[in-house]
Amino acid sequence: VRLARLGYRCGTLLLPTMEEAPRHLGVWLRQRTRWLKGWIQTIFVHTRNPAALVRDLGWRRTALFHLALSAIVLSALCHPVFLVLLAVEFGRSVLGVSAAGAELAMLVIAIFNLAAGYTTYAFLAHEIARRNGRRVVPLLIGLPLYWLLISAAGWRAAWQFVFDPFRWEKTEHGLANSAT
């Protein structure tokens, strides 16, 4: 983002990496917490002066910045709220109580957010399964749990950003070559 704001063009290398995934949930959670905390910090740094961000990047690239970072962080934080809202509205509909006005609007937002998030990750899961010769169904079944774990990392990141800003949870690398 800093390079783009200075007028440089940035791109993505489309080569596979040899980065290894964490082997344990605790390590994975710390890694995702660190990533999300970094994105939160990046969002706050670059939106201190929104007019300057738009001036430096233009409207289109500013929108892409928020789509790439802000939307991911907000989705992670809002996911459990939307799940609870959906469950409450489902329970109300079973009891014959229908949503109206603001409740209906929030239900539509919740359904859209959940559908968009799950659909995006379903395409990702399909690609992962295709590249690794795995079955996609177990990955798809695990998506709701995965999103809840991402949400846990997001809330940990938000907490640390506010109350422990200098803490960066490191994760071990190079374990694939060890004899464990």
Q: What is the pLDDT of residues 119-158, one digit of tens each?
A: 888 898 888 888 888 888 888 888 889 999 999 999 999 9
- pLDDT confidence of residue 175: 64
The C-alpha torsion from 130 through 10 and 22 to 114, rounded to 10°, is -60
Burial class (CB in 10 A: 0-12, 13-18, 19+), 133: exposed
CB neighbourhood size of 70 (10 A): 16
pTM above 0.75, yes or no: yes
Tell me which DSSP letter residue 98 carries: P
Q: How far apart are CA 119 and CA 108, in angstroms?
A: 16
The segments of the chain whose pLDDT lies below 70 read 174-180
- pLDDT confidence of residue 148: 94
